[in-house]
Structure 1
Amino acid sequence: MHFSQDFSALWQGHFSYNHIKDISQGNGKIYAAADNAVFSLNTQTNVIEEINTVNGLSGELISAIFYSDIYELFVIGYENGLIEIVFDNNDRVLTFVDILDKPTIAPTNKRVSHFNSYQNVVYVSTNYGITVLDLEKLEFGDTYFIGAGGTQIPITQTTIFEGFIYASSTNNNGLKKADISRPDLIDFQNWQTISSGSWSGVQAHSGKLYATNENKTIYQIENSSINELFTYSDSPIDLRAVEANLIVTTQNEVFIYDDNFNVKTSITSSEDFETKFKVATVSQESVFIGTELFGVLKSDINDASVFEEVHPPGPLLNNPFSIQARLNGLWVTFGEHDLFFNPYPLNSRGISHLKGEEWINTPYSNVLDAKCLNAISVNPFKESQVFISSFFNGLLELNEEIPTVLYNEKNSGLESLVLPDNPNYVDIRLGTSVFDSDGLLWSITSKIDSPLKSYNPSNGSWKSFSFTDIIQDGLTGDLGFYDLIIGSDGTKWVASYRNGFIGFNEKGSSNQIKNIVREDQNMPTDLVTALAIDNRNQLWIGTFRGLRVLYNTSNFFTDDNIRVDEIIIEEDGVAKELLFQQNITDIKVDGSNNKWIGTSDSGLFYFSPDGQKTIFHFTKENSPLPSNSIRDVSLDGINGIVYIATDGGLVSFKSGSSGPLENLERAFAYPNPVRPGFNMLDKKVKIKDISENVNIKITDIEGNLVAEAQSKTNQRYGGFNLEIDGGTAYWNGKNLANNTVASGVYLVMLSDLETFETKVIKLMVVR
């Protein structure tokens, strides 16, 4: 049992709340659990609040939730057996790993299915039996294995009725009951099976006892007799009693009954919200239905013909595959393929765009039937024009958020792979694309002889470039290409599955092409997964088995003995290879030339420009990352925001690092004035929008030097009082004597060391 940390100061969650797993209510709120995050709706004020990994949740898949009005605690159960308790102000999360860590229970049997509150305890239904959780002491009690001979069986729900605890069970383990007052319920022999079969739920309501069976029927239980009441079109998936209502939910309908099992209302999905229902509840005169696609749908119990969609803003899904940050925005796609570039089974998913604070979601029905959408390129000369690759159908063009053209083998220079035994099969496996400085869109297509292509959006012209000099047969010579970047000299660098990394340059009298793949060139594997050119024109190479750097890219095509290098660091006095044998999934370079490196199972690293210093290492265990499997990283360099796509959802981190500007015209300091409540030591005064090679002096009004820094020397994370990180400087409010400065006016004097431009900013400090 331990408390989790709240990271809300620097982190933000961008989770999807469309797919609802469970609903609970209490404290004047409706609580709804999505895949791995929760939100609450205040029924009086309509204020929506999110609870996710930023608040300290685990990021695992949620299976059941419950709010205790008595103890004002919100309880979350997970597919893996984890249980978390969120305290009422949402700033503390208590984690229980008792079920998760229990070695005698198979991992597949630890799922939490239901919470049932009785007196000071909660009976937790799981896939192995029942566990008692004491909410007063915040500790676990007994566990009941109530199958034949004390075996583990899946319990779906429990309820208390007339002095007995009833438990519904699937897999033909029947409906069971036991005397709730017995101290030895741990003994399976004290549990009686009152009916065989597979039962999905059991619920007491207004002096009656009801149970739902997987045969699509609801029954009333009187003494030991089981009386059939009604058979539904689909199997009931949720049964609960709320206020004066008994609620049965199937995937297509919600039935609300009164105390005598008379139907008060029945609700079906509308044309505007065609989706599967998952769960439903009632609060006063409103019905809240958890759905698969639209979050919670709210309706009136007396007129259920109109629905209101209720959930926080967010992307379509919680499995982002590719992301592309822009100023104050982010594009997201969800079209994964596996490690071997197999897109099957083909997925049909839309696109999400974070624009300021608003999420614009474009469903699959509007993307011109483009499947397996992956890489995103925004036209830098026309921000409203976006190109998104389909790993099956070609290239999708969007203008002003609207998909307008799907480029394929019929209307563009794109090519389908060709199967000798099925020449009519069309499959355009288009991957990464990137714009060059001339406005040409370059893209890479797998399994064809001329995979590299350029497209000019201004005149519609296409060009193709062959790789047969190094990959003789495009169909069989390589499974696919992970990455494509362009160097300052126009060289296209391509990460391939079987052929290492490839350099290509079409400028000059003939096309230049070359690859580095061999062990004697110091490559740890021929599978290259990520590439990045840093601010010193060095090529950083992520592979399936570690990191390499090509320090000199200028002689790549002319040097016959070219090699790549590993980075050697000293750790505890021992020389080690940085990221040895790690599966690297992405590399991004920020404005300070620091490196963000994502891995498949070890989280996200942030390194100094040369890789010698680890500034941050974020994992699921020490940060709001919902998973240690990083799929993509993208930087908003102006605002210093790092967006991180994982296989468990999307989060962002305010690194503060920004790219330098060409001049000092826009430079400013904030906060200004610095007020008494501001913690300069930790939060620091920031001097933004500075140029690349700058000297900064801070003096008091009489001209006495307080602090000084230069871009080349006082770099961030170096422990200086005044540090420079790309386009931003950070001052902790201390002077040369290492004392916090007094109140007064200070002068921030900026000098560009290359252009000799100067600027002075007045900064007021109030202590």
Structure 2
Amino acid sequence: MLRFTLVLCLLLSGYFGYGQNNIALGAWRVHVPYHQGKAVADAGDKVYVATERGLFYYDKEFNTTETVSKVDGLREQQISTVAYDTDTKTLVVAYANTNLDLIRNGKIININDIFRKAVPGEKRINHINIHNKQAYISTTFGVVVLDLVKLEIRDTYSNLGPTGELVNVRASAVLRDSIYLATNLGVLGAKRQGVNLQDFQNWGSVSGDLPAAGAVSGITAFNDKLYASTGYGLFVLNGTRWGVEPWAANVDVTSANASFHYLTVVANSKVFLLNKNGQIQQLNDPLLTAPKQAAVSSEEGKVWIADGNKGLVLMNLTGTDAAAFAPNGPFSGNSFRVYTHGGNVYVLSGGFSEVYLQNGTWNGFYVFSEGEWQSFNRYIYPGPSFVKGYDIIDAVYNPVTEKLYLASYGNGLIEWEGPEKGKLYNGLNSPLLSTLSFSDKTEYVRVTDLAVDADGNVWVVNRNQFTNSPGLHKLQPDGNWKSYVLPGAADGSNLDQIVIDDYGQKWLSIARRNNKTGGLIVFDETKNALRQLSIGEGAGGLPNADIYALTKDVNGDIWVGTAGGVGVYYNTGIVFSEPRYDARIPIIDRRPLLDGQVVRTIAVDGANRKWMGTDNGLWLFNPDGDKLIKHFTKANSPLPSDKILSVAVEHKSGEVFIATDAGVASYRGEATVTEGEPECAMVYPNPVRASYTGLVGVSGLPNNADIRITDVAGSLVYKTKATGGTVAWDVRDYNGKRVKAGVYLVMSSSDDGQQTCVSKIAVLD
């Protein structure tokens, strides 16, 4: 026992293992812009903050923030609002798709009645008001009453208009024996007892002399008074007449919430506190840049503010000692493409539509490195020396110049060495063309894709929409440019993506739905050779002419994702010499691979397996594409959306980063790439505790190494082959039984026997 304890101490002291950035094989994490706070709920020992795409809480006792996501059991990521009931100790989380989660005693309870309810038109949750253990949920079709004790829908009040039509209920409030609703028709009211609230005839207008009654955005009961939030100020009901609060007149009231002895009001990006004595106080601090909602902890004398730029801002009631809290995350949930290099992950926030109209996004790009996000854009770095490019959509690292290059779908090409050291190429200092006119040099200079060849040339695809003008350019390491017109096949009006094969040939996709033939162009500038590949036998054999994805795999083959499936071009060296050069269509379950689906992205991992993104989730196939290994969707994984825009593999860890139309997630895959000669493998988790039921990952092995796992006496426990530079072990022997506690040796060897490694795994009782 003493010997085992000594070995275990050596293991825990850092003899081998992963850093804090690593997650277990098969584990997920979501990457949320937690600083974009929108709603706040004080839950006693915790304060919950809802952001556009996530949820986190601040632990008052430990002064820490913790995230809550689909990884933890939430049904969705895109949140509408949150509210907390102190009586039942329940947090109500409302999602953008009208699903509901209740968090109580560490458990998550899903209530999907509203989500499943079929209603005409838009369906959205606007507000949650909790009264007497009932959650009054305001929606675009009425009010749904959720019993927080019985965990069931008690009532639904819909069709409340004057003639029984649907009304958009923006908020609700209960005051004495009545319930009031802020709707698109103004303020409606009804008695709560002795009447049928499902009958529209029992509801009446309480709008009175409110200006523009339909503009009432909220309703709140505080200090035995009723307050209405509008774009013209905060109004209070006195008898049958509404009067504006002088301190909140002619302002746009974003939110008004009653909490303990205060009414917190956010108006014109300012926070006001109204106490029960009618005293007003405005909170001022540089941290309050975009307040959305506030709550007061009366016992603690604290104000908690959800801020759109800072996440959660904490202040005293006097407006002093302000501090901001938010878990680390990217600047925004906007994501269009993902690129990885050197252990870093780059998420590009820009984009364009299906018909190539730019989004106009200035959110820049975000870099994930060593477990932390850092973002770069004009908001974070407003200085004049920062290169300001909107719709950043692609990135590529040039190992020759040791610089990062960024594609802007609007401003041109950015040569990036840091926020204060960058160079912008546009029509003023390069041959890049604008889509507006030949005379415009700086606006609408659209770069759609980038690639770097073996000589350090940066190839730039410039979509300028001028026929017979160059759409392909080359920035050489010496700073000089060369431009190419591809006559008879493709020009600046219809190029999109680029991949360079092992022979230096440029594979270019033709813009979707902009050319009758569509498909691909293969171009070799040294031979001045060009070939077009499209649909049809003998003409290229693609399953569809609309191209969404191009990638080169480990073997040098070109994989093409189209609007109707996948095609593969093998032996690219014969593309110009072979009279018939058609794509091979992988067959799986007797059907073409992803037949009829839009394949938006294809990524290759360290084992040459193919990760593919469609509008129906994320798919993993074997190297040949004829066997499905995994299929992830919103329903069976923490993916925030089924519409996958881009996928990239960080080869050192094997983590797969996925950009969706609702944000970014990542999954720790089993395949890595080991660069150079490995020193020794890394094991995670280590030690393996008795409660752990997942896979143990051993990474940093010789690529595709033979693996043998033995006990310390040398008895063979398990034998396998590495997936790239990683092996996954389920802590079981050949008979499927979990191994006994002890130390196990992982012995690996490359095919030629030149690279060997011995690692240790401690398994605990």
Q: TM-score range by the shorter chain?
A: 0.7 to 0.9
Q: Match of 1:696?
A: 707
Q: Match of 1:133?
A: 146
Return the match for 1:527 from 542, 546, 555.
546
CA-CA distance at 1:151 after TM superposition: 2.7
Q: Match of 2:749?
A: 751
Matched residues in 2 for 1:224 and 1:654: separation?
62
Alpha carbons of structure 1 residues 179 and 700: separation in structure 2 relative to 1, 3 Å = closer
Q: Within 5 Å, which residues of 2 pair with 1:669-680?
A: 670=683, 677=690, 679=692
Return the match for 2:417 from 399, 404, 420.
399
Q: Within 5 Å, which residues of 2 pair with 1:82-231?
A: 82-89=99-106, 92-103=107-118, 105-108=119-122, 110-145=123-158, 146-169=160-183, 171=184, 173-182=185-194, 184-196=196-208, 197-198=213-214, 199-206=216-223, 208-214=224-230, 216-230=232-246, 231=248
SS at match of 1:54: helix
Q: Match of 2:521?
A: 502
Alpha carbons of structure 1 residues 676 and 543: separation in structure 2 relative to 1, 3 Å = closer
Q: Contact 1:321–1:631 (CA<8 Å) still a contact in 2? A: yes
Q: Within 5 Å, which residues of 2 pair with 1:445-464?
A: 445-447=462-464, 449-457=469-477, 459-464=478-483
Return the match for 2:437 from 419, 423, 430.
419
Higher relative CO (CA 8 A, sep ≥ 6), structure 1 or 2?
2
Alpha carbons of structure 1 residues 437 and 183: separation in structure 2 relative to 1, 3 Å = same
Structure 1 residues 199-258: Cα deviation after superposition (integer angstroms, max 9, x where no partner):
33322222x213225362333334444344335232212111112111221233222112
Choose 670-679 or 370-379, whichever is displaced more: 670-679
Alpha carbons of structure 1 residues 226 and 316: separation in structure 2 relative to 1, 3 Å = same
SS at match of 2:201: helix
Alpha carbons of structure 1 residues 659 and 226: separation in structure 2 relative to 1, 3 Å = same
Structure 1 residues 309-346: Cα deviation after superposition (integer angstroms, max 9, x where no partner):
32221111112112222344322221111112221x63
Q: Contact 1:723–1:730 (CA<8 Å) still a contact in 2? A: no
Q: Within 5 Å, which residues of 2 pair with 1:282-681?
A: 282-283=296-297, 284-303=300-319, 307-343=322-358, 346-365=360-379, 366=381, 367-380=386-399, 385-417=403-435, 419=437, 426-447=443-464, 449-457=469-477, 459-471=478-490, 473-475=491-493, 478=494, 480-481=495-496, 483-497=497-511, 498=515, 499-507=518-526, 510-520=527-537, 521-570=540-589, 575-599=590-614, 601-663=615-677, 665-668=678-681, 670=683, 677=690, 679=692
Structure 2 residues not aligned, in runs of 5+: 1-23
CA-CA distance at 1:742 after TM superposition: 4.9
Q: Match of 2:17?
A: none
Alpha carbons of structure 1 residues 671 and 735: separation in structure 2 relative to 1, 3 Å = same
Structure 1 residues 95-153: Cα deviation after superposition (integer angstroms, max 9, x where no partner):
222222222x2241x32222222223111122222111011111101111232133321
Matched residues in 2 for 1:533 and 1:241: separation?
58
Return the match for 1:236 from 248, 253, 257.
253
CA-CA distance at 1:260 after TM superposition: 3.1
Q: Contact 1:371–1:393 (CA<8 Å) still a contact in 2? A: yes
Alpha carbons of structure 1 residues 34 and 676: separation in structure 2 relative to 1, 3 Å = closer
CA-CA distance at 1:430 after TM superposition: 0.9
Structure 1 residues 427-477: Cα deviation after superposition (integer angstroms, max 9, x where no partner):
3211221223333322211136333323234x3232323322422x533xx
CA-CA distance at 1:582 after TM superposition: 0.9
Alpha carbons of structure 1 residues 74 and 532: separation in structure 2 relative to 1, 3 Å = same
Structure 1 residues 371-413: Cα deviation after superposition (integer angstroms, max 9, x where no partner):
2211012334576x32211111111122244452111222234
CA-CA distance at 1:587 after TM superposition: 0.6
SS at match of 1:99: helix
CA-CA distance at 1:698 after TM superposition: 4.1
Matched residues in 1 for 2:296 and 2:742: separation?
59
Structure 1 residues 642-695: Cα deviation after superposition (integer angstroms, max 9, x where no partner):
1111110111111131024454x423363697656275x7424x4432333533
Matched residues in 1 for 2:317 and 2:699: separation?
54
Matched residues in 2 for 1:595 and 1:151: separation?
52
Structure 1 residues 139-197: Cα deviation after superposition (integer angstroms, max 9, x where no partner):
1011112321333212222222222222222x3x2323322233632223333333342
TM-score normalized by the length of structure 1 = 0.87
Q: Contact 1:587–1:633 (CA<8 Å) still a contact in 2? A: yes
Structure 1 residues 508-556: Cα deviation after superposition (integer angstroms, max 9, x where no partner):
xx22221201323322332211111112222111012211111221211
CA-CA distance at 1:754 after TM superposition: 3.0
CA-CA distance at 1:636 after TM superposition: 0.7
Q: Match of 1:730?
A: 728
Matched residues in 2 for 1:672 and 1:128: separation?
49
Matched residues in 1 for 2:583 and 2:108: separation?
46
Letter in 2 for 1:187: D
Q: Contact 2:36–2:311 (CA<8 Å) still a contact in 1? A: yes
Matched residues in 2 for 1:79 and 1:687: separation?
40
Alpha carbons of structure 1 residues 557 and 299: separation in structure 2 relative to 1, 3 Å = same
Matched residues in 1 for 2:656 and 2:561: separation?
19
Matched residues in 2 for 1:486 and 1:62: separation?
41
Q: Contact 1:211–1:218 (CA<8 Å) still a contact in 2? A: yes
Q: Contact 1:17–1:311 (CA<8 Å) still a contact in 2? A: yes
Matched residues in 1 for 2:116 and 2:600: separation?
30
Matched residues in 1 for 2:62 and 2:341: separation?
34
User: RMSD across aligned C-alpha pairs, in angstroms?
Assistant: 2.9
Q: Contact 1:23–1:279 (CA<8 Å) still a contact in 2? A: yes
